[in-house]
Amino acid sequence: MGKRTRQPPYENRHHLLFQGRYWASGRARALRNAFVRYVPTRAHQELHERLRNVPLPPADLLCKAWDEYSANKAVIDTYDVVRAAAWLYVNIPDVEFRRAMQYQIDYFATVLRMS
């Protein structure tokens, strides 16, 4: 998201890669900060009640994903929350990580379609 913009009313900034204490250094932190999207406040709260954290994949997978993101940053930064989660799913092939990304994809695709 680069430059910080004013938060729209009734929306929260959602880090697709959470909780921050697990994603706190190196490529993990860089990816966490790159994948922030605005989502409706209620949907954001409900997601965090259901999904407590996103497992941290191995460092080599994070490095590959960061390199891919860096090469395509301008395009990827335009993705909405569902497409951004799908990009992470495809580019970080870790089973536990993908389970959490799939949950977010399904959740936001459903919730945002209804709003």
Q: What is the pLDDT of residue 21?
A: 85
Tell me which residue of 48, 63, 54, 49 sits closest to 95, measured CA to CA.
54
The verdict on residue 95 lying in a domain is: yes
The verdict on residue 65 lying in a domain is: yes
Q: What is the pLDDT of residue 35?
A: 97
For the chain, how long is the longest CA-to-CA vector?
38
Q: What is the pLDDT of residue 96?
A: 96
Determine which helix (DSSP H) or strand (DSSP E) holds 36, and give its type and residue range: strand 36-40
The verdict on residue 2 lying in a domain is: no
Q: What is the pLDDT of residue 6?
A: 61
The verdict on residue 6 lying in a domain is: no
Q: Name the percent of the chain in helix, strand, coil, to the closest 5.
A: 60, 10, 35
Integer angstrom CA distances of residue 45 from 13, 15, 39, 100, 105:
11, 12, 10, 16, 16
Query: Hey, how many other C-beta atoms are within 10 angstroms of the C-beta on 80?
Result: 13
The verdict on residue 105 lying in a domain is: yes
> What is the C-alpha to C-alpha distance for residues 12 and 39, in angstroms, rounded to an integer?
6
The model scores a pTM over 0.85? yes
The verdict on residue 5 lying in a domain is: no
The verdict on residue 3 lying in a domain is: no
- Per-residue model confidence as pLDDT tens for the chain (115 residues): 455 556 566 789 999 999 888 899 999 999 999 999 999 999 999 999 999 999 999 999 999 999 999 999 999 999 999 999 999 999 999 999 999 999 999 999 999 987 6
Q: What is the pLDDT of residue 22?
A: 85
Q: How many domains does the chain have?
A: 1
Domain span at 57: 12-114
